[in-house]
């Protein structure tokens, strides 16, 4: 079972911007090796941090509007949203420990 939530251009505002808790958005694509590399770590962190933060994924190939709006130029890019605003950004693949540190420092 997936712990991360798939979002689209259509439900991004409702799921991410209107959330009452911090949301980490993983901008990714099927062809992106580093995106696939961090995928399992994000799944584990979504489970570990359930209740503190929501982790969502948006496929940039299927949903071009949101990535353009936020100026996504390379993937994976992770953005933490709080109160509908970008609070922090992490670009590139890194270890589960570093991802956990980054997320926990923002929640």
Q: Which of 7, 16, 25, 32 is catalytic?
A: 32
DSSP letter (8 states) at residue 92: S
**Residue 101 in 3-state DSSP?**
helix
Q: Is 33 a catalytic residue?
A: no
Q: Which residues pair with 57 in a beta bridge?
A: 6, 26
Q: Is 32 a catalytic residue?
A: yes
User: Nearest Cα to 80, choosing from 16, 14, 11?
Assistant: 16
Q: Which of 16, 23, 24, 35 is catalytic?
A: 35
Q: What are phi and psi of 42, to 5 degrees?
A: -65, -40
Active site (catalytic) residues: 32, 35
């Amino acid at each position: 079972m997936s712990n991360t939530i798939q979002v689209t251009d259509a439900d991004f505002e409702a799921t991410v911007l209107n959330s009452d808790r911090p949301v980490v958005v993983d901008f990714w694509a099927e062809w992106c090796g580093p995106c696939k590399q961090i995928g399992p770590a994000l799944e584990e962190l979504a489970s570990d941090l359930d209740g503190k933060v929501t982790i969502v994924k948006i496929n940039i190939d299927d949903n071009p509007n949101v990535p353009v709006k936020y100026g996504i130029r390379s993937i994976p890019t992770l953005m933490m949203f709080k109160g509908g605003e970008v609070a922090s950004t992490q670009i590139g693949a890194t270890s589960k420990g570093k991802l956990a540190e980054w997320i926990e420092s923002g929640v």
